[in-house]
């Protein structure tokens, strides 16, 4: 082999060695830089995940708010309906009570007249049949009124109660313990379902 060929082979060998070294350095550099390129990717993924979580939380809060608003509206409507139902029921009751009160108030003078008639019959020479017939009708009328919730106001011998009694006169008490009490009843008083529809007109002892 000539000297010239030996020199060329030596130069080729050195170039090949240098090329290998350069390739190894390049591979080593790529391996070192690879994690650096992955870090931004991981960071972006984490940021996207955080943003996604925040969006979901915002949507959940908005949904909760809407549910609460609908619940409040529902409760309000139910309360309004309940108030309406109670008001209508009370109006019906008041209407019935008013109608009953009017009719019964008109019947009370009839009761008074029956009592006067019975008293007159007792003092007259009328037959027993007339007395018994009149008394029977009177009791039937009282029974009907009682079934409708009418009760007589107790007055005779009671302390004056301005919620139930109307004092129309005063007289000297026949006895000491009757002072300030009802000694006579001019007109009976009545209640309808516990409410006074006619005050008892009374005389008070002084």
Q: Is the pLDDT of residue 139 over 60?
A: yes
Q: Is the pLDDT of residue 123 over 90?
A: no
- DSSP class of 175: S
SS (H, E, C) 71-140: HHHHHHHHHHHHHHHHHHHHHHHHHHHHHHHHHHHHHHHHHHHHHHHHHHHHHCCCCHHHHHHHHHHHHH
Residue 201 and residue 169 in contact, taking contact as beta carbons nearer than 8 Å: no
Sheet holding 200-205, edge to edge: 165-171, 200-205, 182-187
Task: Name the maximum alpha-carbon separation found in the chain.
Answer: 182
Q: Among 147, 167, 170, 143, which residue's Cα sits nearest to residue 155?
A: 167
**Domain segments of the chain: what residues?**
151-206
Q: How far apart are the first and last CA of the chain?
A: 166
Of the two residues 78 and 92, the one the predictor is more confident about is 78
* Cα–chain center distance at 35: 68
Q: Is the pLDDT of residue 79 over 60?
A: yes
Residue 167 and residue 203 in contact, taking contact as beta carbons nearer than 8 Å: yes
CATH of domain 151-206: 2.30.22.10
Quote the pLDDT of residue 160: 92
Indicate yes or no: pTM above 0.75: no
Quote the pLDDT of residue 31: 57
- Give me 132's structure tokens: 């018994």
Residue 100 and residue 148 in contact, taking contact as beta carbons nearer than 8 Å: yes
Quote the pLDDT of residue 32: 56
pLDDT in tens, 17-30: 666 776 676 666 65
- Give me 174's structure tokens: 């026949």
Please enumerate in sequence order all residues whose Cβ is within 8 A of that of 104, keeping only pairs 6 or more positions apart, or say none. 145, 148, 150, 190, 192, 197
CA distance 189 to 181: 16
Quote the pLDDT of residue 49: 74
Quote the pLDDT of residue 36: 47
């Amino acid at each position: 082999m000539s000297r010239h060929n030996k020199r060329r082979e030596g130069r080729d060998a050195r170039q090949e060695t240098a090329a290998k070294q350069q390739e190894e350095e390049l591979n080593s550099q790529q391996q070192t830089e690879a994690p650096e390129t992955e870090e931004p990717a991981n960071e972006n993924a984490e940021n996207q995940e955080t943003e996604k979580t925040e969006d979901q939380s915002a949507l959940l809060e908005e949904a909760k708010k809407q549910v609460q608003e609908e619940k409040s509206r529902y409760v309000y409507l139910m309360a309004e309906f309940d108030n309406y139902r109670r008001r209508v029921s009370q109006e019906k009751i008041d209407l019935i009570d008013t109608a009953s009160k009017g009719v019964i108030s008109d019947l009370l003078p009839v009761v008074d007249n029956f009592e006067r008639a019975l008293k007159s019959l007792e003092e007259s020479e009328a037959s027993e049949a007339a007395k018994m017939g009149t008394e029977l009708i009177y009791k039937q009328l009282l029974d009907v009124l009682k079934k409708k919730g009418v009760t007589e106001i107790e007055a005779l011998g009671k302390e004056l109660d301005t919620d139930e009694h109307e004092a129309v006169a005063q007289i000297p008490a026949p006895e000491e313990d009757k002072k300030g009490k009802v000694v006579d009843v001019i007109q009976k008083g009545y209640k309808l379902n516990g409410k006074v529809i006619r005050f008892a007109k009374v005389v008070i002892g002084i």
